[in-house]
Structure 1
Amino acid sequence: MILDVLFPNRCIHCNRIIDPEFLVCDLCFSQIHFTHYNYFENNPVKEKCSLFFPVENAYSLIQFEEKGLSRQIIHELKYKSREKTGKILADWTTERLKFDDHKPDLLVSVPLHPRKLKERGYNQLHLFTETLSSFYNIAFDHQLIKRNHYSKAQALKDKKHRLESANIFSITQSITGKHILLIDDVFTTGNTVSSVAWEILSAGDNKVSVLVMAEDA
């Protein structure tokens, strides 16, 4: 209570004092470019995924713009120790994404290398995934996929190095006959999502759909 008075929560964009559970004020919220994609129909992120692997469905919550508020939101989550941003993004997702009677069987997020996890202190996708799991009543597995190599953040790589991701991931257990919703933060080249997807598809008679927080415009 005292900390809330001394260090009130502020909008990450305009610095207005806002509710402790919020990320941005109402005015700045209107500046976020939500995609409004239909998960079950063709959309830009599904079309991009289809270039790399057989994808069932795909969805992106927001557009990731180089100088927009969406970039600031993702960077708050990944690089500024604002883990709770993951829950906020998940809440925004559940307001917009409806599975109806066609829910996936399992939620799987792209893993961090143990060294990166230790440096950051958390996986930025875990709270997001767990919040979705609770809302939709879909199981999640943070251990199914293992990242084999340590690498610097995608945002800090040039395009050439982003394309170099062979054998980065491996699957840790037998899984077959499942429809897996693969979760990542930002869809850029599609290389990371593709690498994980092929591990899942190669493991057995599985299907893969994709959910990303943001799609690089």
Structure 2
Amino acid sequence: MAIAHAIHPLVKLFKAVDISLFPPACPACQKRLNTEESFLCHDCQTSCLQQPTTYCPRCGHAHPATTKQNHLCSHCLTSSPPFNWLKAAGIYQGQLAELLQQFKFHHKTSLASPLADLILHQHQQAIDQFAADAIVPIPLHPQRLRERGYNQAQLIGQQLARHLNLPVNGSLVLRNRPTPPQSTLSLTQRMDNMRSVFYSPEARPSKILLIDDIATTTSTARACSRALTQRGHKVAVLVVARALPRH
């Protein structure tokens, strides 16, 4: 027992020396991080955290560059979303898009931590004000989970939960059937694809942070949130990136 207590400080010392001699590299550009850069280098962090000039305060939809102030988008005006708000760490472009591609399709699961850190860096205040009871990753159907080997939303959710001291509850919303990937579908097809896909078992109503990697049309976030709000839950959505609309 005494030996074990003696070893622990040495392990911490060796780790500190290792980091000082061999600092970690930025996962986006591979440049060595300095002591003030915790998860991405300053330039890559700035690039990844870019926000639209003006956007919809409910769903994060980017307005055209000519728009002077934030306002509800036409989609939220005609069909109010079931979530309180949807916020993204950045825009799905450049280095952030590359990181998400590596994370989602090339098994770079170690990127879950820096991607979660981007969300926290951008939206800590809104997260604190919402005061969630639990984190719920948007689920994959078991068939898709077997194919990919992991649920990218769950990995990000677990990292957020660690920082926010919240439980991750993967049983509050479930998929009842597999669906084609949203990225292969048109806007109308995406909406139809998500119709009646999710359901929520009965549970005590709570405030939920719903987590996903990318929001494009918000059809997945809306469908998943609807299943939860029908059970009395309140939902706010966090994603790593919001795709720009196609004009």
Q: TM-score category by the smaller chain?
A: 0.7 to 0.9
Q: State the secondary structure of the residue aligned to 1:143.
A: coil
- 1:212 aligns with 239
- In the TM superposition, what are the counterparts of 1:1-217 in structure 2 within 5 Å? 14=29, 16=30, 18=32, 25-35=41-51, 42=57, 45=60, 47=72, 50=76, 51-65=79-93, 68-96=94-122, 97-98=124-125, 99-100=127-128, 102-164=130-192, 165-171=194-200, 173-203=201-231, 205-217=232-244
TM-score computed with the length of structure 1 as normaliser: 0.78
Structure number with greater Rg is 2
Structure 2 portions without partners, runs of 5+: 1-23, 62-71
Aligned positions, number: 200
TM-score computed with the length of structure 2 as normaliser: 0.69
Q: State the secondary structure of the residue aligned to 1:95.
A: helix
Cα deviation digits, residues 105-144 of structure 1 (max 9, x gap) = 1111110111111111100011211111121112221122
Would you say the 8 A contact 1:187–1:216 is kept in 2? yes
Structure 1 portions without partners, runs of 5+: 1-8
- Point out the structure with the larger helix share: 2
Q: Give identity over the alignment, percent.
A: 24
Cα deviation digits, residues 60-99 of structure 1 (max 9, x gap) = 111113xx22221211111010112121111222223233
Would you say the 8 A contact 2:119–2:238 is kept in 1? no
Measure the CA separation in 2 of the matches of 1:182 and 1:216. 18
Query: RMSD of the alignment, in Å?
Result: 2.9
- CA distance 1:208–1:86, shift in 2 (3 Å): same
- Point out the structure with the larger strand share: 1
Would you say the 8 A contact 1:23–1:85 is kept in 2? no
